[in-house]
Structure 1
Amino acid sequence: MQIDVDPQEDPQNAPDVNYVVENPTLDLEQYAASYSGLMRIERLQFIADHCPPLRVEALKMALSFVQRTFNVDVYEEIHRKLSEATRDLQSAPDAIPESGVEPPPLDTAWVEATRKKALLKLEKLDTDLKNYKGNSIKESIRRGHDDLGDHYLDCGDLSNALKCYSRARDYCTSAKHVINMCLNVIKVSVYLQNWSHVLSYVSKAESTPEIAERGERDSQTQAILTKLKCAAGLAELAARKYKQAAKCFLLASFDHCDFPELLSPSNVAVYGGLCALATFDRQELQRNVISSSSFKLFLELEPQVRDIIFKFYESKYASCLKMLDEMKDNLLLDMYLAPHVRTLYTQIRNRALIQYFSPYVSADMRRMATAFNTTVAALEDELTQLILEGLINARIDSHSKILYARDVDQRSTTFEKSLLMGKEFQRRAKAMILRAAVLRNQIHVKVRGGGTGAGAAQLGTHTWAHGLVSIAVPSPGREPGGADAGQQPVPDEHQHVRVPAGPSRRICTPYPQLPALLEEPLGSRPRPPAWTPV
């Protein structure tokens, strides 16, 4: 049997989808209130799938929220999951009988009535759109497509919603309409996790004159930019480009961060803070995060993340890593951050190890293990991996448990770099002098595979084998294109000099005049030289 495997899937980077969180400290009601629409339902379902202690409560909340929409299929799915979770809870050996454990019965009357309402509304919107197209009013057609897309989104039909929002593009009559269309497409593309589509429409929205010209001066424009940066940050995070994701989240404005359909301001603080911690050096962390007046307001919503960043910057790595472990369970319940928690934590720890050792010539691994709240054996394994990856230039004395920095002679290294730069400058200077001399003396070069017309024949050029080209040099007293340019050339009136074809052309010639010519300063010879054939 043949099995098709996606070549883009890396098994080492594949997220663990079967993990279970047993000890969350999440206020579910407050968490759900930060989102709206389909995002609230999807996040609650994600928590129910990965957190047994909160499963029943999350499904009940999702069931009540989904009844405010036309999404009948999701209602039936959540009700089925809730029934299974309730049965599992009751059949547990340590189950405690409680009131209200039974799930609400499936409301078949609501299901049928909602399906009829959704169908009637769809027919009405479709009829209105046809009438708008008959009247050929672009603004009405655009709004008709948007209304139809909103209805499909409310019904949970994301594919048709994306089609309707995309069709509105042809009927946009202003930059404001284009931006609104882009935001709608971005929102649905995030739900579909089509991240390349998200980045494409973020770029399209940012290139509109409404955004490109006004910049940060307009409050409304700043709100749009914040939405675009948040969506781009999610896409970069999903692509594991953590530094780009951090830069996007850091550009968000706290006063204009109102995008509950995708993420909350607390998400911006957590996503941006952890990505910056994993990828920024000390200078970038201090300049872009700690000293950022805008991002400080986001960090006030997540004091634990703020304290982690400050502890890391102050080189208090043990307390920093301990606080990271304390909030790990809550991070694993975030549907967009959960696949990256392990990678981000590893990068943050590696960066802490590198920064700890960077000022030392040698370090006692016992004291280092105490600073990182780990054992010497585990620390030795981590340092070995960092040395093999080239992130730490050091050697380990496994017997004495001491880490020694490799002795690099900075003086010799600096001299070697200086000599290499001098040789490169010399090579570039000679190449420029050669080019200037060739142009000044009207030396014509015919590259192999070039034109073979009459003009080339009149110049008397010849293509050599093995990638060599020839230079046609005018004979003494004869200017190219002169009075006798139309006459048949005499074979010995042009001297051919072989030059290797390619980016670096070194002239190989028996003529002693050509090297002397290249030594002359520019402008010293007013006309082509009179060369004598050898």
Structure 2
Amino acid sequence: MAPKNGIAADLPPPTFDLEIWANHYENGPLLQLRLAHVAARCPSLAHHALTLALADAKKGKDVQIYNRLCDLAADLGLKDLGKQDTEWASRKDEENRRELSRLESELRGYKNNLIRESIRMGQEELAMHHLLTGGPIPDPANPQSLSSAGYNAAYQAFGKMRDFCTTPAHINSMTLRLIYTALLQAVTAQQTGNSSSSMHFNSVIANSNRLRATGVKEEEQSKLTPMAHVVAGIAHMGIGEYRSAASAFLQTPFDYHNSGGIYNVDFERSVASANDVAIYGGLCALATMSREALIDDVLGGPFRAFLEQEPHMRKAIVLYTTAKYQACIDTLRRYYSDWSLDVFLGAGGLSTGSHVDRLFARIRERSITAYFSSFSEVSLTSLASTFPPTSNAPDAMEAEVLNMIENGTLDARLDVVSGVLVAPQNDTRLETHQNAQKAAQEVERTLLLRLHRVNMTLAGLEIPKAKGQWDGMRVGNGY
């Protein structure tokens, strides 16, 4: 959870008020992880974010996340927050142990009585206990204990409910909790530098697919489908599949907003609000979709209702579709800090860049490519004035263009001596002659085949009609 080398990334303050932003999400472990991410990335908000996170943690039962938050505060030099409340931690840990012992004892009794519904409910209570307490602490001397420690224990416990579910509603309730737990696993893995986040995001995708055709009533399905699309989009984004993420977000019905959740699970309050969906979907669409698709599917489709929640995102897409590329990039850049502080968008190492950095880079590349497509040649000076380089190096524009040419993003060649970017020249005269020659050869072949047919008919030969032939007008392979 602590930033690399204990130093937070130097992001400028965001445009939102931290407390108002935090109130958009319900209390729980994911909110605490969000606030930890803010503290690790933005020094100016670190103290306030960790104060809110620690206060929320002490309202719950998770001693492990409380200790990690204190460690993060100490790494950031916040001594007043880094001092742990050992009395509270000891008392809460003892309460958790007693509660775990009671739940395990009750579950054994249910299994002995062979009552399926009691076993399912007992298994769910045990899984919820692991989820709210952070699960067992791994044993440093036993590496294999990692697979059944932390949120892994909650995920495994929820999965064991499957054998005792008797209705589609039971299965859907279990699947929703598996998705939420897998998201917690993925976010925790990202913040602790663990490479298993992709595995957990793939688990989210697999479970989200199960929610789309579950056999429940239409009223219930209308609440499950939007949740499935949103979490699938977040998971695809988490593993870098931005085109698939855009597709998932664009398919999300606006019923997701203020739906109130189902089975005591409200993903809009706990995972991603309608504003978040607008931002995730808008950025992924800008980075991967053509101008025509943006106009038809994003601005002209059902997703526009989400964009109304974030007018600046809608404005950026409109600017891109009207070829005002730099204005679009400048609009997005104003909210770079806000989006970098999002626990899903801002995930990623300081060296490899976050998802925001990668999406911004793709949008810039697509803007340069679309701008250059209107010219036969453009000077690097003119290109740099239209798209100011992100680096202060004197040859930054040249290096960026060369990189785009090498990775196939830009179809052009660079005249380094003259400082000119030249589009590939198409010889339209030669292309026209080749097309005319090809058409003449086809006409000649057709006439020869018809002449053969006439000669055979005059000679009294019977010509069998092959299946699929063109009514005798043209002899194909059947002849």
Q: Tell me the C-alpha RMSD between the 2 structures.
A: 3.2
Indicate the structure with greater helix content: 2
Secondary structure of 1:301's counterpart equals coil
Which of the residues 358, 361, 381 maps onto 2:376?
361
Secondary structure of 2:9's counterpart equals coil
2:227 is aligned to: 227
Identity %: 29
Which of the residues 401, 408, 412 maps onto 1:394?
412
Compared with structure 1, are the counterparts of its residues 110 and 404 closer, same or farther at alpha carbon in structure 2 (3 Å cutoff)? closer
Q: Structure 1 residue 109: deviation in Å?
A: 3.6
Distance 1:244 1:417 in 2: 42
Which of the residues 37, 55, 61 maps onto 2:46?
55
1:118 paired to 2:68: no
Paired amino acid for 1:82: A
Q: Structure 1 residue 124: deviation in Å?
A: 2.8
2:365 is aligned to: 350
2:356 is aligned to: 341
Paired amino acid for 1:368: L
Asked whether the equivalents of residues 178 and 205 of structure 1 are also in contact (C-alpha less than 8 Å), the reply is no
1:204 is aligned to: 210
Aligned length: 394
Secondary structure of 2:211's counterpart equals helix
Deviates more, 1:151-160 or 1:200-209: 200-209
Distance 1:412 1:392 in 2: 24
Asked whether the equivalents of residues 72 and 115 of structure 1 are also in contact (C-alpha less than 8 Å), the reply is yes
Which of the residues 185, 192, 195 maps onto 2:178?
185
Paired amino acid for 1:20: A
1:74 is aligned to: 65
Secondary structure of 1:67's counterpart equals helix
Compared with structure 1, are the counterparts of its residues 103 and 412 closer, same or farther at alpha carbon in structure 2 (3 Å cutoff)? same
Distance 1:262 1:118 in 2: 26
Deviates more, 1:196-205 or 1:386-395: 386-395
What's the TM-score once normalised by structure 2's chain length?
0.74
Asked whether the equivalents of residues 72 and 82 of structure 2 are also in contact (C-alpha less than 8 Å), the reply is no
Distance 1:325 1:366 in 2: 22
1:458 is aligned to: none
Q: Structure 1 residue 285: deviation in Å?
A: 0.9
Which of the residues 275, 280, 301 maps onto 1:266?
275
- Listed as ranges, the gaps of 5+ residues in structure 2 are 136-150, 187-199, 258-265, 347-353, 446-462, 468-479
Cα offsets for 1:347-400 (capped at 9, x unmatched): 111100111122333345444332223499543433333333333333344455
Distance 2:213 2:431 in 1: 46
Distance 2:278 2:68 in 1: 33
2:322 is aligned to: 314
Distance 2:84 2:402 in 1: 58
Cα offsets for 1:51-94 (capped at 9, x unmatched): 22111111111111011211112223323443564556xxxxxx
Asked whether the equivalents of residues 226 and 255 of structure 2 are also in contact (C-alpha less than 8 Å), the reply is no
Report which of the two structures shows the higher radius of gyration computed on alpha carbons.
1
Q: Structure 1 residue 128: deviation in Å?
A: 2.7
Compared with structure 1, are the counterparts of its residues 164 and 372 closer, same or farther at alpha carbon in structure 2 (3 Å cutoff)? same
Q: Structure 1 residue 227: deviation in Å?
A: 1.4
Paired amino acid for 1:175: P
Paired amino acid for 1:382: E
Q: Structure 1 residue 412: deviation in Å?
A: 5.6
Q: Structure 1 residue 18: deviation in Å?
A: 6.6
What's the TM-score once normalised by structure 1's chain length?
0.67
1:328 is aligned to: 336
1:282 paired to 2:285: no
Secondary structure of 1:209's counterpart equals coil
Q: Structure 1 residue 248: deviation in Å?
A: 0.9
1:162 paired to 2:155: yes
Distance 1:207 1:408 in 2: 51
Asked whether the equivalents of residues 271 and 337 of structure 1 are also in contact (C-alpha less than 8 Å), the reply is yes
Asked whether the equivalents of residues 43 and 334 of structure 1 are also in contact (C-alpha less than 8 Å), the reply is yes
Q: Which has the higher contact order (CA 8 A, sep 6+)?
A: 2
Cα offsets for 1:302-334 (capped at 9, x unmatched): 232222222111211222222232222222222
